[in-house]
């Protein structure tokens, strides 16, 4: 019985971590900048579609228009769905891929690392021999704000995912937002504005993978892609390393480079997410 239980679990392997790391580095090299609503942003979306599809996943492109402080702009989300029974609950895993407008930021950790991580998660889900439940991966555009977060500035892609889920009439069990968790000096925080039950599952999953100090709860309120889901009444959590460099000094700067992204950190993050899925599904 134990061997059956072990074989049924979703695993994230060192090979998956290598894929995540390799994808992140190539994404930065070929798709920087990738500000939302721009031609390079569209090129980045096509790159994700191509490379995520190489894992065997079915990846769909969702192009849409949304109002911004600069007027109506085009955005592109990417979705990949793994379903054993679409009528049952869904777990949604979200990561943005866009860079901060108006900065010379490569976005290696802030965007690219978790873009690569979602590609690797697609690979792991495609190879899951005994799948269960329903999982949706969403690469979101327009998470970064142009000026400051407001109803028409920032989080555009995640708002679109909420609309998509509601149009499909799906019951969402959990939303996991991944951001900046490829940092070579990894310390994942769970901000206060998240669902307490999911926070407990994150802490439990960290212990289950033998990394009890990997995740910590903090009192900060963070504006990230999980917020539109919370606003829609869905359970959601943000998994973020918001201590990126001394005093978070590398965030949204030219210092957000690939040398600061670690394959080992991506392995830990991927294992954490997969263990959370094992608990949730």
**Is residue 91 in some structural domain?**
yes
**Is residue 136 in some structural domain?**
yes
pLDDT in tens, 247-258: 999 999 999 999
**Strand-strand pairing, 172-179 and 236-240:** parallel
**Is residue 1 in some structural domain?**
no
What are the backbone angles phi and psi of residue 43, rounded to the nearest 5°? -60, -40
pTM: 0.96
Domain that holds residue 35: 10-280
Of the CA atoms within 13 Å of residue 258, those in its CB half-sphere come to: 15
Nearest to 228 by CA among 144, 166, 155, 148: 155
DSSP secondary structure string, the chain?
-HHHHHHHS----HHHHHHHHHHHHHHHHHS---BTTSHHHHHHHHHHHHHHHTTT--EEEEEEEEEETTEEEEEEEEEEEEES-TTS-EEEEEEE-PBPTTS----IIIIIHHHHHHHHHHHHHHT-SS--SEEEEEEES--S-SSS-BTTBS-HHHHHHHHHHHHHTPPEEEEEEEES--BSS--EEE-SSS-HHHHHHHHHHHHHTT-TTSEEE------STTHHHHHTT--EEEEE----SGGGTTTTSTT--GGGB-HHHHHHHHHHHHHHHHHH-
**Is residue 2 in some structural domain?**
no
pLDDT in tens, 54-104: 999 999 999 999 999 999 999 999 999 999 999 999 999 999 999 999 999
**Is residue 159 in some structural domain?**
yes
**Is residue 107 in some structural domain?**
yes
Nearest to 80 by CA among 109, 57, 46, 108: 57
Over 90: is that where the pLDDT of 3 sits? Answer: no
The CATH number linked to 122 is: 3.40.630.10
pLDDT in tens, 112-155: 999 999 999 999 999 999 999 999 999 999 999 999 999 999 99
Q: Which tokens go with 71?
A: 């007027």
Please state the domain count of the chain.
1
**Is residue 157 in some structural domain?**
yes
Tokens 């793994």 identify what position? 82
pLDDT in tens, 152-193: 999 999 999 999 999 999 999 999 999 999 999 999 999 999
Distance CA 137, CA 93 (A): 5
**Is residue 93 in some structural domain?**
yes
pLDDT category at 5 given cuts 50, 70, 90 is very low
């Amino acid at each position: 019985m134990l061997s059956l239980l072990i074989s049924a679990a979703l695993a994230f392997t060192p090979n998956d971590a290598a894929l995540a790391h390799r994808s992140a580095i190539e994404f930065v090299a070929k798709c920087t900048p990738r500000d939302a609503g721009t031609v390079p942003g569209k090129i980045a979306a096509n790159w994700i579609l191509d490379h995520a599809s190489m894992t065997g996943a079915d990846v769909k492109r969702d192009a849409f228009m949304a109002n911004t402080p600069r007027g109506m702009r085009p955005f592109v989300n990417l979705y990949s769905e793994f379903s054993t029974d679409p009528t049952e609950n869904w777990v949604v895993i979200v990561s943005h891929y866009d860079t901060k407008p108006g900065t010379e930021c490569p976005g290696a950790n802030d965007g690219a690392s978790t873009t690569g991580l979602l590609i690797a998660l697609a690979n792991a889900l495609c190879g899951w021999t005994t799948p269960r439940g329903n999982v949706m991966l969403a690469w979101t555009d327009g998470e970064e704000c142009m000026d400051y977060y407001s109803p028409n500035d920032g989080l555009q892609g995640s708002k679109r995912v909420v609309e998509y889920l509601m149009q499909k009439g799906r019951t969402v069990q959990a939303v996991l937002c991944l951001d900046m968790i490829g940092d070579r000096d990894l310390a994942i925080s769970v901000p206060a504005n998240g669902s307490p039950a999911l926070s407990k599952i994150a802490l439990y999953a960290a212990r289950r993978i033998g990394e009890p100090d990997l995740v910590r709860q903090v009192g900060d309120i963070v504006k990230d892609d999980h917020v539109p889901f919370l606003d829609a009444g869905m359970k959601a959590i943000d998994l973020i390393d918001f201590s990126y460099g001394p005093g978070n000094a590398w965030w949204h700067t030219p210092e957000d480079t690939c040398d600061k992204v670690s394959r080992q950190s991506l392995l830990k993050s991927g294992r954490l997410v997969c263990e959370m899925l094992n608990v949730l599904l």
